[in-house]
Chain A
Amino acid sequence: MKDLIIPWDDRDLGTPAAEGAPVTLSIDGFDVTVPDGTSVMRAAALAGIEVPKLCATDSLEAFGSCRLCVVEIEGRRGTPASCTTPVASGMVVHTQSDKIRRLRRGVMELYISDHPLDCLTCAANGDCELQDMAGAVGLRDVRYDAAPHVDNHFAPRDSSGAANPRWMPKDDSNPYFTFDPAKCIVCSRCVRACDEVQGTFALTIAGRGFDSVVSAGTAGDDFLSSDCVSCGACVQACPTATLQEKSVIELGVPQRSVITTCAYCGVGCNFKAELNGDQLVRMVPWRHGKANHGHSCVKGRFAYGYAQHQDRILKPMIRDRIDEPWREVSWDEAIGFAASRMRALQEAHGRTSIGVITSSRCTNEETYLVQKLARAVFRNNNTDTCARVCHSPTGYGLGQAFGTSAGTQDFDSVDQADVIMVIGANPTDAHPVFASRMKRRLREGAKLIVIDPRRIDLVKSPHVEAARHLALRPGTNVAVLTAMAHVIVTEGLANEAFIRERCGWDEFQHYVEFAADPRHSPEATAALTGVDSDDLRAAARLYATQGNGAIYYGLGVTEHSQGTTTVMAIANLAMLTGNIGREGVGVNPLRGQNNVQGSCDMGSFPHELPGYRHVKLPEARAVFEQAWGVPIDPEPGLRIPNMLDAAVAGEFKGLYCQGEDILQSDPDTAHVAAALAAMECVIVHDLFLNETANYAHVFLPGSTFLEKDGTFTNAERRINPVRKVMAPRNGYADWEITQMLANAMGAGWTYTHPSQIMDEIALTTPTFAGVSYALLDQLGSVQWPCNETTPAGTPLMHVDGFVRGKGRFIVTEYIATDERTGPRFPLLLTTGRILSQYNVGAQTRRTANVVWHDADLLEIHPTDAEARGINDGDWVKLSSRAGQTSLRATLTDRVSPGVVYTTFHHPDTQANVVTTELSDWATNCPEYKVTAVQVGLSNGPTEWQADYAAQATRSRQRLTAAE
């Protein structure tokens, strides 16, 4: 458990970096050369001279309010604030003089006179900039005697016992941090962090001058009731104990730290895990993290408590039948039981009767081992991953069009975008840290187009407003995007020079002929898509003509019968307008889970070896046959939905499922349940007894991301290190457990550290050839392809040419889903998620994040609600041809009439009871986003929910006492 010492400079340089031409000045007699536009404060800090400061911090624009940072500049009058004064060539600066010292002490004296002097017992003791600055300026006495009888804001009562009208009580409403106004110095760093970094604008400074105070929301609000999304940026920015993590109040200021990566979403934020011993005290987003640049969201920063939750299972368990209670056993017994059952199934039902599901939550190394288990030990290609149910169409669609199955840009590229088109994604909820970057760019003037059935927050939020929101009917993405292409082609907006140089000309001809057909015009398709033709034309012109156009899309694109076709349509638009191959443009899938990209890269799919090489290719197989010493099956294996169908048909009998809750997350729950029930050996490897475990025979307790080494690959292809912060509570890291199972089945693997697994990946996979743990320690992270020609990785793809050679236009005919509304099911259900919860919620439901979302709600338009006599908060029954469930309704015009929406974070709601078996034509990615439903009043949970709850309780029974 070594602390990682990385040669990164973590000092706060006071103001953000600038990018101008070099300028040389003199500070305290030293010559310093910095980019033009740099502040004097930052230039001094770069030269190793710390100018005292309070209101400045380098994540925020300088504000110049505290005047602690004054300096003298030769030839200038007075004492300018160094944080707001830009450098100039030949400038001569003095940061220390009698006059300056006097001024700074005066400033500090004023601050301290209105600040309680309880430093020794303060939660920020040792981690307080006010304290540090009092020391730095040599404050020795305070002439203005503060409490208790003069005006101050920190004492509840004066010496006569009368209430102090300026005192305000502590705000404890947020579950993770407190706001204690008594300690506030009104530096406004919190307000600026909320505005500039997070972009939520939840905080204001109320009142003026001496009476000014920070306030969340409007009068009467506390942090919880305000717009605050609990990202913690203000807490991090606060120089005092005013905004303070509750964990620090409870556990003390942390003394050591380890750099690691968030395990929630595909943004892949780097964090400094700060500890005392092996007690995690807080997670602080790492300022050098290339995906997050020091920012984070509520999940990554605060929602890690699940690792210590009492529900976590720490001992292996087995049972012969799923109606028996679980028996706790030793690791040896559990692994032996699992291995012999799996081998017996293969003997009885054939080599291909068992398979694996790899996890997009686990590390690359772990995923690699699980697919290797299938390929080298089971000797079949029955491996799939939960990416099947989210971004598999991205892999196929972008692979066909560009030749590579990944996003084209890094996140930083959004800073150069002029038009941002968001399709079927809800970044402020699902990719919050990237959304903050995007919002910052939008505030700088970039234009926004949103294509989504629902009015997501981005459409209109403080200081951000979409130029166009195309609120299409769910399931008509292809028609809308083809209509955009129609406008671009017929109005002569296509970038022919780019197309001639970079794309296949014949295919382009076919495509133009197709797109120009009048039946694809916005006017012709408006009735089908529900999108106003003028809006659509305007959006197409905006994207095609207003500079750098960048597309970001999510599961609202992929989780459809035409998911793959939509991905192709997106690629077409980018090629048509030349928006690919440079900063500020591109096609960017926003990946859901932390390691969706990685699990795809690592060969989790049944037809592909690591690095996206088809199993039919002899040269690809040869690499692994040599490395592993076994022949590899040249035929594709079963995908998750195929495994389930085959199980129901009695042909698929055994499953090793790592870190994935298919029963809750996959569509058509009843079918998944029937399939699992039909299997004879289900091995669930997870942190908790998840829903799938109700049908399992073996439970192998997993480890959290805090307890192991490895890597995750985020949505920008960035391979981020995950570092062991504490020992695994269950005894083993997940890769060790897979290795034990493999070896019990005769594999003979001998890995002793995940770095050896990465070495094997690098050896066998050309796009990873240059990746090693040493490189990651050195660079912090690296974007694949990383090999001999690109040793430091590849931020931008397809710069000089497409990976496949010429970009390929593909005809995208709109083919309606079989899922149709009708008299029985007249509404369309679409699904999504929200900020505070994470997917099936197994982790976030076990943290204080539930204060923001304790149940899934059904969003329904007031018109549809009225027609059904539904009021806000009523229990309603949601039914489709697949099943029914019930939940509470919330009335909102975020959804259009005819469309309803819900999240899927809670197992007792089980939105997937109603989703259907339909799936994407090319990849079987399920159609979560369109289900024909009916909604009606109900009295409470349905019979199915009651049955389910009873069955779940029964199957979770454990015999823990002596057997």
Chain B
Amino acid sequence: MGALPAMHAGLRGPDRAGRDMSDESLIRMANQIAAFFRTQPGGPPSEKVAAHLDDFWEPGMRRRLQEIVRSGGAGLDEIVVEAVSARADAAGGNSPGRPG
């Protein structure tokens, strides 16, 4: 890439506050999903969160979310942690794969 104009620097990006911007996004989005399903009756919310992630999140994003969980899951809603861990177990560790 050529030199970027000043307007691209500093605002938001991979390097802000030493943390990956897309991680911040993933955590926020996952927590929002958890917040919705927490309020829904019938069945454990973590299962619904897991199903929602399977249906709408690209595998790379799910994989990254698993890594975040594995490295302590800082900032993640516990329902997300539960949902992601359940999938990881089902898939025998690393893969974000679908159940069944």
The residues of A with any CB-CB pair to B shorter than 8 Å are 321-324, 352, 381-382, 510, 514, 561, 564-565, 606-607, 614, 616, 634-639, 641-642, 645-646, 648-651, 668, 670-671, 673-674, 677-678, 680, 810-811, 813, 815, 818, 882-883, 917-919, 921-924, 944, 947-948, 950-951
**In the complex, which residue of chain B has the Cβ closest to the Cβ of A924?**
B29
Q: Let me know if B29 and A921 touch, CB within 8 A.
A: yes
A646 CA to B61 CA, complexed, in Å: 9
A671 CA to B14 CA, complexed, in Å: 11
- Nearest CB of chain A from residue B67's CB, rounded to whole Å: 13
Q: Let me know if B28 and A883 touch, CB within 8 A.
A: no
**In the complex, which residue of chain A has the Cβ closest to the Cβ of B4?**
A677
- Nearest CB of chain A from residue B19's CB, rounded to whole Å: 12
Given contacts A635-B59, A944-B7, contact A648 B33 (CB under 8 A): no
Given contacts A606-B58, A649-B22, A813-B39, contact A922 B5 (CB under 8 A): no
| Interface members, chain B 32-77 (any A CB < 8 Å) | 32-33, 35-36, 39-42, 52, 54-61
A611 CA to B1 CA, complexed, in Å: 39
Q: Let me know if B21 and A648 touch, CB within 8 A.
A: yes
A811 CA to B61 CA, complexed, in Å: 28
Chain B, interface residues (CB within 8 Å), range = 35 or more
Q: Which of B2, B12, B14, B58 contacts A642 (CB 8 A)?
A: B58
- Nearest CB of chain B from residue A365's CB, rounded to whole Å: 27
A811 CA to B5 CA, complexed, in Å: 47
6 closest pairs, A vs B, by CB? A323-B2, A921-B32, A813-B39, A645-B22, A670-B11, A947-B7
The residues of B with any CB-CB pair to A shorter than 8 Å are 1-8, 11-14, 20-22, 25-26, 28-29, 32-33, 35-36, 39-42, 52, 54-61, 98
**In the complex, which residue of chain A has the Cβ closest to the Cβ of B25?**
A645
Chain A contacts for B20, CB-based, 8 A: 649
Q: Let me know if A671 and B52 touch, CB within 8 A.
A: no
Q: Which of B2, B39, B42, B52 contacts A922 (CB 8 A)?
A: B52
Q: Let me know if B11 and A671 touch, CB within 8 A.
A: yes
Q: Let me know if B57 and A671 touch, CB within 8 A.
A: no
Chain A contacts for B3, CB-based, 8 A: 323
Chain B contacts for A322, CB-based, 8 A: 1-2
**In the complex, which residue of chain B has the Cβ closest to the Cβ of A671?**
B12
A649 CA to B1 CA, complexed, in Å: 15
Chain A contacts for B52, CB-based, 8 A: 922
- Nearest CB of chain A from residue B2's CB, rounded to whole Å: 4
**In the complex, which residue of chain A has the Cβ closest to the Cβ of B59?**
A635
Q: Let me know if B1 and A677 touch, CB within 8 A.
A: yes
Chain B contacts for A514, CB-based, 8 A: 41
**In the complex, which residue of chain B has the Cβ closest to the Cβ of A633?**
B59
Q: Which of A561, A607, A670, A951 contacts B12 (CB 8 A)?
A: A670
Chain B contacts for A607, CB-based, 8 A: 55-56
- Nearest CB of chain A from residue B23's CB, rounded to whole Å: 9
Q: Let me know if B59 and A649 touch, CB within 8 A.
A: no
- Nearest CB of chain A from residue B24's CB, rounded to whole Å: 9
**In the complex, which residue of chain B has the Cβ closest to the Cβ of A615?**
B55
Given contacts A636-B56, A673-B7, contact A922 B22 (CB under 8 A): no
A677 CA to B3 CA, complexed, in Å: 10
Chain A contacts for B59, CB-based, 8 A: 635
A673 CA to B13 CA, complexed, in Å: 11
Q: Let me know if A951 and B61 touch, CB within 8 A.
A: no
- Nearest CB of chain B from residue A694's CB, rounded to whole Å: 10
Q: Let me know if A649 and B14 touch, CB within 8 A.
A: yes
Q: Let me know if A922 and B36 touch, CB within 8 A.
A: yes
A665 CA to B54 CA, complexed, in Å: 28
- Nearest CB of chain A from residue B88's CB, rounded to whole Å: 16
**In the complex, which residue of chain A has the Cβ closest to the Cβ of B6?**
A947
Q: Which of B2, B7, B26 has the most CB of A within 10 A?
A: B7
- Nearest CB of chain A from residue B48's CB, rounded to whole Å: 11
**In the complex, which residue of chain B has the Cβ closest to the Cβ of A670?**
B11
Q: Let me know if A642 and B11 touch, CB within 8 A.
A: no
Chain A contacts for B26, CB-based, 8 A: 645
Given contacts A922-B33, A922-B36, contact A636 B55 (CB under 8 A): yes
A324 CA to B58 CA, complexed, in Å: 34
A256 CA to B88 CA, complexed, in Å: 66
Given contacts A646-B60, A649-B21, contact A811 B39 (CB under 8 A): yes
Q: Let me know if A648 and B22 touch, CB within 8 A.
A: yes
A31 CA to B11 CA, complexed, in Å: 79
